[in-house]
């Protein structure tokens, strides 16, 4: 039996589904919050802001890419 | 001072007049209840994006949200990632939710749950949980306008009088919600969204630049405000708890979920998410950053909830203050309209409509009357002193996430049954009620998790145990397979979609 998709009825997990799983990990993994805590600068941004804006930008770019590659017609 | 008040109140009056003008010009009579409830599934991606943001980001983000960051630091940034994950979730569930909605003429979240579990009890229960959870948000939405009218009067109008003015403005706006239903809300969301998040972003960038010109930068902010609670903290999971609650809660809110049905196709829902994400990133990221940097200004730490208006007034005088107030007004109005409309639709469609045989015209009349009753009731309550309102709002948020178990597992998997869905919801709400009385914020013995997440664990356990113990019989198995098989058929255009209603309700 083929594995079912998280996001549709195709037999594979599509890009948006993978992005959602990656996003949930980045947002909801407490050790990452603890590692990112503090004001030590990374590329001029305090570490906690670098973490927050970094993965937020990644999620946004990933969603835009998923939309551009999406083949939904209707 | 009088000319300054003319500028601030005049700007609000012009904004309100434009909203009313747009609604009058765009008025189309609803032909049936589906048109009233979900605007006949007729809107494209740009409208979807603004509708999502106008519901997800209420006016309180400028007041309570900014105030939270100004007093607690980066822990208050939780709304940015949660908003983006919410849009990603909307993107991922778009095909299933929209296709089932169009195929079976679904109008609400509770409608979908009733269909998925083949149960009228689940439908009614989900509807009541959603509506009751939203009621404190309606009162908060009304009250947040009080802060606008108070700040824009330069202290000439007391807070209580300002709340009454705000409540009156919001109540007048609901005349068009009653008449135009969802169509009027989505159309006004577009304009309100441009004002709140488009012009709002420009104002935020201007205010950050003004702070920079005052010599305020990242190093000016107290280092403690860059810290998340760590393993050594008594509440090490506080940030995780906030994030998880909001991530799970986003599409559990009936007012947000119903927006998926207003789209004219799956592609428009997805486009709405893809367009909304960058707007949310720039707007919300900018607002959060501004709130953090504003802590370096003298006087902000003492009154963090006034930071947004204080900053705008100091940087740009009455003109910037007028714009700042209009942003809050626009965001509050969009959120309130959507919330009151979705509550009324759910009560008509999923409570009365599930118990009585009602025609489309009767459902529309009931929903309109419910909008009027909810508006008058919340307006009256909002004028009262409510010291426990914030606790009730937190309770509402923790209650609404109980819907996430049947909603997400029901949409994405074939696992689960009506017993588990209804039993889990009841167990979750009961656990929440008991725990919340003792620990309304974080629970110390749970490392900072809130009562809602503990209740969610109980809810999930009941759902899983019921699903394992009571396997579906052949008829139920076939019904669920038919439901999921419908996703493989390209959805029909809204005008062609049959009004089959939810099949096989017990």
Query: What is the mean predicted confidence (pLDDT) over B493-498?
Result: 48
Show which of residues 459-478 on chain B sit within 8 Å of chain A, judged by CB atoms.
Answer: none
Q: What does the block give as tokens for B78?
A: 């939780």
pLDDT exceeds cutoff 60 at B348: yes
Query: What is the mean predicted confidence (pLDDT) over B75-102?
Result: 94
pLDDT exceeds cutoff 80 at B504: no
pLDDT exceeds cutoff 80 at B174: yes
Query: What is the mean predicted confidence (pLDDT) over A36-59?
Result: 94
Chain centroid to CA B325: 20
pLDDT exceeds cutoff 80 at B69: yes
* B484/A48 touch (CB, cutoff 8 Å), yes or no: no
From the list B81, B266, B273, the residue facing A27 with the nearest CB is B81
B213-222, B394-403, B495-504: segment of lowest average pLDDT: B495-504
Element (H, E) at A41: strand A41-42
| Mean pLDDT across chain A | 82
pLDDT recorded at residue A20: 84
Planar angle of CA B267, B273, B276, nearest 5 degrees: 130
From the list A46, A48, A56, the residue facing B285 with the nearest CB is A56
Q: Are B190 and B259 in contact (CB under 8 A)?
A: no
- Rounded distance between C-alpha atoms, residue B76 and residue B243, angstroms: 10
* B226/A59 touch (CB, cutoff 8 Å), yes or no: no
Percentage of the residues of chain A whose pLDDT score is greater than 90: 46
Confidence of residue B491 (pLDDT cuts 50, 70, 90): low
| Mean pLDDT across chain B | 91
Q: Which of A49, A46, A55 is nearest to B75 (CA)?
A: A49
Show which of residues 68-97 on chain B sit within 8 Å of chain A, judged by CB atoms.
Answer: 74, 77, 80-82, 84-85, 87-89, 91-93, 95-96
B28-32, B54-58, B78-82, B349-353: segment of lowest average pLDDT: B28-32
Confidence of residue B43 (pLDDT cuts 50, 70, 90): very high
Confidence of residue B28 (pLDDT cuts 50, 70, 90): confident
pLDDT recorded at residue B141: 86
Query: What is the mean predicted confidence (pLDDT) over B476-488?
Result: 92
- State the smallest CA–CA distance between residue B119 and chain A in angstroms: 24
Query: What is the mean predicted confidence (pLDDT) over B197-226?
Result: 96
pLDDT exceeds cutoff 70 at B496: no
- Rounded distance between C-alpha atoms, residue B324 and residue B331, angstroms: 11
Q: Which of A62, A4, A21 is nearest to B481 (CA)?
A: A4
Q: Are B183 and B314 in contact (CB under 8 A)?
A: no
Contacts of B487 in chain A (CB under 8 A): 8-9
Confidence of residue A5 (pLDDT cuts 50, 70, 90): very low
Confidence of residue B490 (pLDDT cuts 50, 70, 90): low
Percentage of the residues of chain B whose pLDDT score is greater than 90: 74
A41-42 vs A45-46, strand pairing mode:
antiparallel
Q: What digits encode the pLDDT tens for the residues B275-304?
A: 999 999 999 999 999 999 999 998 887 888
* B240/A67 touch (CB, cutoff 8 Å), yes or no: no
B285 touches chain A (CB under 8 A): yes
ipTM score here?
Answer: 0.88
Q: Are A24 and B246 in contact (CB under 8 A)?
A: no
pLDDT recorded at residue B498: 43
Query: What is the mean predicted confidence (pLDDT) over B68-96?
Result: 93
Answer yes or no: CATH 3.40.50.1970 is held by domain B2-384.
Answer: no
Residue in A with minimal Cα distance to B94: A7
Query: What is the mean predicted confidence (pLDDT) over A6-23?
Result: 66
- State the smallest CA–CA distance between residue A47 and chain B in angstroms: 8
Question: With helix as H, strand as E and coil as C, how does B102-151 read?
Answer: HHCCCCCHHHHHHHHHCCHHHHHHHHHHHHHHHHHHHHHHHHHHHHHHHH
pLDDT exceeds cutoff 70 at B495: no
- Rounded distance between C-alpha atoms, residue B439 and residue B461, angstroms: 22
pLDDT exceeds cutoff 90 at B434: yes
* B240/A49 touch (CB, cutoff 8 Å), yes or no: no
Q: What digits encode the pLDDT tens for the residues B349-400?
A: 999 999 999 999 999 999 999 999 999 998 888 888 777 778 888 899 999 9
- State the smallest CA–CA distance between residue A58 and chain B in angstroms: 10
Q: What does the block give as tokens for B53?
A: 């943001």
Angle, to 10 degrees, between the axis of helix B451-469 and the axis of helix B389-400? 20
Contacts of A52 in chain B (CB under 8 A): 74, 77, 80-81
Query: What is the mean predicted confidence (pLDDT) over B85-113?
Result: 95
- State the smallest CA–CA distance between residue A55 and chain B in angstroms: 8
B209 touches chain A (CB under 8 A): no
Provide DSSP, B240-286.
HHHHHHHHHHGGGSHHHHGGGGGBSSHHHHHHHHHHHHHHHHHHHHH
Q: What does the block give as tokens for B354?
A: 């599930």
pLDDT recorded at residue B493: 54
């Amino acid at each position: 039996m083929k594995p079912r998709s998280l996001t549709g009825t195709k037999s594979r997990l599509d890009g948006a589904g993978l992005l959602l799983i990656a996003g949930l990990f980045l947002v909801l993994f407490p050790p990452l919050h603890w590692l990112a805590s503090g004001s030590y600068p990374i590329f001029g941004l305090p570490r906690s802001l670098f973490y927050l804006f970094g993965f937020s930008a990644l999620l946004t770019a990933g969603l835009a890419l998923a939309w551009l590659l999406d083949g939904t017609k209707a | 001072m009088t000319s300054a008040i003319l500028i601030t109140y005049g700007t609000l009056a012009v904004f309100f007049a434009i909203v009313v003008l747009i609604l009058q010009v765009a008025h189309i009579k609803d032909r049936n209840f589906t048109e009233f409830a979900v605007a006949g599934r007729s809107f494209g991606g740009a409208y979807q994006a603004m509708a999502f943001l106008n519901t997800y980001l209420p006016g309180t983000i400028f007041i309570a949200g900014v105030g939270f960051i100004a007093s607690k630091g980066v822990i208050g940034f939780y709304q940015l990632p949660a908003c983006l994950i919410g849009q990603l979730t909307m993107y991922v569930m778009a095909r299933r939710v929209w296709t089932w909605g169009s195929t079976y003429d679904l109008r609400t979240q509770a409608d979908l749950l009733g269909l998925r579990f083949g149960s009228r009890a689940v439908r009614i229960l989900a509807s009541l949980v959603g509506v009751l959870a939203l009621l404190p948000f309606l009162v908060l939405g009304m009250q947040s306008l009080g802060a606008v009218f108070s700040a824009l009067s330069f202290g000439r109008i007391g807070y209580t009088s300002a709340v009454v003015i705000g409540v009156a403005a919001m109540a007048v706006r609901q005349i068009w919600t009653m008449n135009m239903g969802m169509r009027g809300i989505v159309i006004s969301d577009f304009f309100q969204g441009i004002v709140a998040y488009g012009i709002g972003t420009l104002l935020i960038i201007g205010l950050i630049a003004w702070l920079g010109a005052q010599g305020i930068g990242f190093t000016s902010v107290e280092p403690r405000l860059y810290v998340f609670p760590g393993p050594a903290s008594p509440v090490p999971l506080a940030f995780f708890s906030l994030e998880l609650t909001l991530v799970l809660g986003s599409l559990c809110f009936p007012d947000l979920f119903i927006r998926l049905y207003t789209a004219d196709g799956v592609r428009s829902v997805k486009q709405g998410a893809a367009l909304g994400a960058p707007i949310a990133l720039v707007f919300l990221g900018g607002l959060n950053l501004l709130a953090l940097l504003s802590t370096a200004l003298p006087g902000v730490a003492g009154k963090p909830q006034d930071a947004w208006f204080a900053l705008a007034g100091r940087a740009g005088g009455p003109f910037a203050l007028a714009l700042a107030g209009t942003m809050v007004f626009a965001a509050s109005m969009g959120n309130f309209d959507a919330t009151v409309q979705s509550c009324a639709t759910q009560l008509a469609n999923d409570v009365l409509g599930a118990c009585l045989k009602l025609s489309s015209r009767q459902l529309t009349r009931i929903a309109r009357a419910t909008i009027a009753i909810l508006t008058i009731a919340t307006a009256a309550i909002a004028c009262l002193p409510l010291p426990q309102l914030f606790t009730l709002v937190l309770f509402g948020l923790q209650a609404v996430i109980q819907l996430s178990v049947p909603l997400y597992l029901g949409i994405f998997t074939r696992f689960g049954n009506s017993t588990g869905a209804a039993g889990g919801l009841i167990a979750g709400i009961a656990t929440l009620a008991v725990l919340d009385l003792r620990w309304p914020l974080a629970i110390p013995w749970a490392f900072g998790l809130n009562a809602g997440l503990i209740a969610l664990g109980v809810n999930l356990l009941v759902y899983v145990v019921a699903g394992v113990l009571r396997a579906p019989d052949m008829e139920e198995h076939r019904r669920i397979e038919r439901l999921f098989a419908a996703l493989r058929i390209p959805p029909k255009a809204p005008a062609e979609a049959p009004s089959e209603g939810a099949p096989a309700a017990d």
